Structure 1
Amino acid sequence: MASIRRRERKDGTAIYQVRWLQGGRGGDWEGEKFGDEESAEQFKRLVDAHGQQWPPGWVKGKGFVEDPVPPGDMPLVDWAHRCIDRLTGIDERTRGDYHRDVDNHFSIIRHTEPSGRVVDATICNLTADDVQDWVRAEEAGERDADDPQKWKRRKSHPKSIANRHGLLSSIVQVAVEAEPPLRSKNCCRGTRLPRVDDGIDEEMCFLEHDEYARIAAEIADPHARDLADWLVGTGMRWGEATALQVRDVNLHRNTVSVQRAWKRAAPGEGGPSYFLGPPKTKRARRVIALTGAQMDMLRRRMTGRKPEDLIFHTPLGKSWRHDNFWRRRWVPAVDAAIAKGLPKRPRIHDLRHTHVSWLIAERIPLPAIQARLGHESITTTVDRYGHLVQALDGEIRAAVEAAMAAPAPTPGLTRVV
């Protein structure tokens, strides 16, 4: 352990010397002088914390000397905005969301120097500890200092933290791959993130066939009823189903092709708030097989319509908006069904989850479900719905028992002596 010695000067003042054996017993004596006891005590704790070594970045007689600013370094927020402006392959709505995350969340990231001093984060000084501190701050939120009952910055959901961390990691990676590189490694690698499945927020709701029928019976508008039946019968996303056009239907193969989806325009762009764009991912472009009843419904809705007309529309022929459908059609129907004994309160998106549960109950393999839903990765399908595949336990046991059983003798063979 380091120690502090007080020495009197001739003028009556004192100096405080911190002494220690470099690296512990067997090392050489080292020392540093301070003009006040508090500074000496702080330095002593640093020496002890670093195993009786000089604290990194400390120069004897001068204190902590920070490395010179690397060429090209800039505030982290400025670097992030610049990277986002240069992204390709994303719509302007997504770009705006990224910029908002930088302003609202990356702006609170700070860098802690070896001395313990906290400064603004830059793209070059950011460390793994800084990223971990930021994740903890996002998870904890911040109360209003003037009114502890209010939030200055609310707690972030684990999924939101994971998404923002992914964006931060990609922004830091740009600095790693820059020419010349601004960083030697990505400090976001290995960050311990909160579990996404903690809590019960937005828990998936799976409806039995009769439970959905009770809700559907309360939807009086036939246009809304057709759309609800389609969502639960195909598992399509809301933005995909409401963007289907007459030309997407193949009447000979009994299929429908997912080619587009509704997108929300970025704020301030002017014009319509929604527009038709590509589906969510590459795998979201897919062909979905339909039942005879579904084809009959499509033929009914396609009669007299042009190839570019929407298949699902409001009674006035306008495109459906999620908020309008949810508020005027879905919520009243669910409330009416609950009043008559329905024990669940599903969201519109739960019709997609319900479709999957029905497929799994019929022993449809998860890879086939992945293709039908348009998931980019089978991992997504397994993570969300793998817990439902309990109905196959009996088949799995039988398969294992058959594989492990001793081979039966082959009939009709006679041993030759």
Structure 2
Amino acid sequence: MFTPLILPQLGNLKLSDLRPGHLMKFYKYLEQDGIRQDGKPGKLSDRSIRYYHAVLSSMLEDAMKWQLITSNPAARVEAPKVRRKQTTSYDETQSAELLQALYSEPIKYRVLTTLALYTGLRRGELLGLEWKVIDMENAQIAVVKQSQYTPETGVVDRKTKTEGSQRLISIPTSIVTLLKEYKAAQNEERLKVGSLWQPSDKLFTTWNGKPMHPDTVSSWFNDFLTRYNEKTIQQGKASLPHIRFHDLRHTSASLLIAQGVPLKNVSSRLGHSSIAITADIYASALQSADKEAAQKLEDILNIKNEQA
């Protein structure tokens, strides 16, 4: 996964010759447009560049343990900063409207979108789901893989981003019921396709069982919101904000925070490696929840004071 970018820039150097300056130059190289390996335009995200730093630092730390080098040059380089973007999400009313609107869509996309909202899973994690990791009896989903696309490999499954990303997520009974309905529908489609069906245990596939391209999900969601909003505007109603599919993950987290769910639980559901990451990303949601808590406390104390 990392070698196509690391080897051309650093592979000609001996470990003993590697200096902090080489790493700093490499991180600058990663900021160039057109550097992405998934065929998309633009540069790598700040978080991806920081991840390259973490990987290189870990590798060099191992080299020190094996006495191949005497010091870790990555330890003397400041980790690339991640510029935080403001998250976009739906509120409770908008989320309920979205779920209602999905009933007119194919069940595959209804399940995909509903799961994204209820679980906070990343797009790749959703596409990596297989029926064997869905525990209907205990209402849990085991997140162990994610689907990724690169021009070289096509759509492939890989382990989740970190060990912390591998997790068990509880789902409500309504989602279990929806999944059972979807599995029955998928089995019917499989019988219709017959011998053209590609053997697969995946929840979400193309018409013949092949893995879905991740961008197909985003394109469908964009088209769905466009169609829905055109209809609601014609009816004189307010439209839903045009968010990205990934923003359903932010919506899931923000709704949980607004309901007072402990940040540790929210972080665990999202698969973050630390609570600090969750707190950083959802600082605005946490601030709003804190203001609401302050108002509730004032209301409680005012009532007590009036009764005194």
- Under a length normalisation based on structure 1, what TM-score does the superposition of the two structures give? 0.53
Task: Report the secondary structure of 1:262's partner residue.
Answer: strand
The answer (yes or no) to whether the contact 1:240–1:260 under 8 Å persists in 2 is yes
Deviations 1:29-86 (A, max 9, x none): xxxxxxxxxxxxxxxxxxxxxxxxxxxxxxxxxxxxxxxxxxxxxxxxxxxxxxxxxx
> Cα distance, 1:265 vs. partner?
7.7
Q: Which amino acid aligns with 2:125?
A: E
Equivalent pairs, count:
268
Q: 1:204 aligns with which of 66, 83, 87?
A: 87
Q: Give the match for residue 111 of structure 2.
A: 226
- The answer to whether structure 1 residue 159 and structure 2 residue 25 are counterparts is no
For the residues of structure 2 that align with 1:228 and 1:185, how far apart are their CA atoms? 48
Is 1:360 aligned to residue 257 of structure 2?
Answer: yes
Take 1:125 and 1:312, find their aligned partners in 2: how far apart are those partners? 47
**Distance in 2, Cα, partners of 1:310 & 1:139:** 33
- Is 1:335 the counterpart of 2:226 in the alignment? yes
- Measured after TM superposition, the shift of residue 359 of structure 1 is 0.6
Question: Which has the bigger relative contact order, CA under 8 A and spacing at least 6?
Answer: 2
**For 2:141, what is the secondary structure of its paired residue?**
strand
Q: Residue 346 of structure 1: CA displacement?
A: 1.9
Which residue does 2:121 correspond to in 1?
236
Matched, 1:323 2:215: yes
- In structure 2, the residue matched to 1:262 is 147
Per-residue deviation, 1:293: 1.7
Provide the residue aligned with 2:290 in structure 1.
392
Shift of 1:384: 1.9
Alignment-derived partner of residue 186 in structure 1? 72
Q: Does 1:350 align with 2:247?
A: yes
Indicate conservation of the 8 Å contact 1:138/1:156, yes or no: no
Q: Deviation of residue 262 (structure 1)? A: 3.0
- The structure that has the greater radius of gyration is 1
Partner Cα distance (1:134, 1:301) in 2: 46
Distance 1:376 1:284, change over 3 A: same
5+ residue gaps, structure 1, are 1-93, 108-119, 143-153, 400-417
CA contact (8 A) 1:139 1:158 kept: no
Check the 8 A contact 2:111/2:182 in 1, yes or no. no
Indicate conservation of the 8 Å contact 2:118/2:252, yes or no.
Answer: yes
Residue number in structure 1 paired with 2:194? none
CA distance in 2, matches of 1:121, 1:243: 37
Partner residue of 2:178 out of 286, 297, 312: 297
1:282–1:266 Cα change, 3 Å: farther
Q: Structure 1 residues 103, 210: closer, same or farther in 2, change over 3 A?
A: same
Shift in CA distance, 250/343, structure 1 to aligned 2, threshold 3 Å = closer
Aligned-residue offset at 1:169:
2.7
**Following the alignment from structure 2 to structure 1, what is the Cα–Cα distance between the partners of residues 263 and 224?**
31
| SS state at 1:195 partner | coil
Task: Considering fraction of residues, name the structure with more strand.
Answer: 1
1:316 to partner: Cα distance: 5.5
Q: Does 1:274 align with 2:178?
A: no
- The equivalences for 1:396-411 within 5 A come to none
Pick one of 161, 170, 176 that aligns with 2:64.
176
Contact (CA 8 Å) 1:298, 1:311: kept in 2 or not? no
Q: Which runs of 5+ in 2 are unaligned?
A: 34-41, 191-199, 298-308
Give the secondary structure class of the aligned counterpart of 2:164: coil
What residue is the counterpart of 1:99 in the other structure? 3
Q: Which structure features the higher share of helix residues?
A: 2
SS at match of 2:74: coil
1:67-146 → structure 2 map (5 Å cutoff): 94=1, 98-103=2-7, 105-106=9-10, 122-129=14-21, 131-132=23-24, 135=27, 137-138=28-29
* 1:222–1:133 Cα change, 3 Å: closer
For 1:208, give the aligned amino acid: D
Aligned residues of 2:107 and 2:182 also touching (Cα < 8 A):
no
Cα distance in 2 for partners of 1:205, 1:343 equals: 12
Residue in structure 2 matched with residue 373 of structure 1 by the alignment: 270
Residue 134 of structure 1: CA displacement? 5.3
Cα distance, 1:204 vs structure 2: 2.9
SS of 2:15's equivalent? Answer: coil
SS of the residue 1:124 aligns to: helix
Amino acid at match of 2:223: P
Cα shift at 1:332: 0.8
* CA deviation map 1:178-235 (0-9, x unaligned): 44x43x322222423453116x5xx532122333455552763232122111111111
In 1, Cα distance between the equivalents of 2:19 and 2:43?
Answer: 23
Paired residues of 1:206 and 1:354 also in contact (CA < 8 A): yes
Question: Could you tell me the TM-score, scaled by structure 2's length?
Answer: 0.69
| Contact 2:225 2:240 (8 Å CA) reproduced | no
With 206-215 and 227-236 compared, the bigger mean Cα shift is at: 206-215
Alignment partners' CA distance in 2, 1:139 and 1:168: 14
Q: CA RMSD in A?
A: 3.7
User: Percent of counterpart pairs with the same letter?
Assistant: 22
Shift of residue 375, structure 1, vs aligned partner: 2.5
